[in-house]
Amino acid sequence: MIVTPKWLERTQSKEDVVVGRHHLLVFEYNLTRIIDFIKRYCESCTGADWTEVGTKVARLGHWEFEDYKG
């Protein structure tokens, strides 16, 4: 989920504590910049197997294999 500080202000109260998990915070919605960031992030995720790589990719946002136990 991509959010801006303004969205957070509209959807949260001043008393809330917000954990950023599964949220990509941007100060300006620029789709090209966001896609480039996600591509670079995913390309930097390396590991000995898919489990290691998937664990790193999952840090960026919620995805279908998060917490999957096969």
Residue 3 DSSP symbol: E
Q: What is the DSSP string of 13-56?
A: -TT-----TT-EE-SS--HHHHHHHHHHHHHH---SSHHHHHHH
Q: What is the pLDDT of residue 35?
A: 96
Q: What is the pLDDT of residues 6-56, one digit of tens each?
A: 999 999 999 999 888 888 999 999 999 999 999 999 999 999 998 899 888
Q: Where are the domains of the chain?
A: 2-57
What residues have CB less than 8 Å from 41, skipping those under 6 apart? 57, 60
- Return the pLDDT at 55: 85
Q: What is the rounded average pLDDT for all residues in the chain?
A: 89
The residues facing 3 across adjacent strands are: 25
Q: What is the pLDDT of residue 23?
A: 86
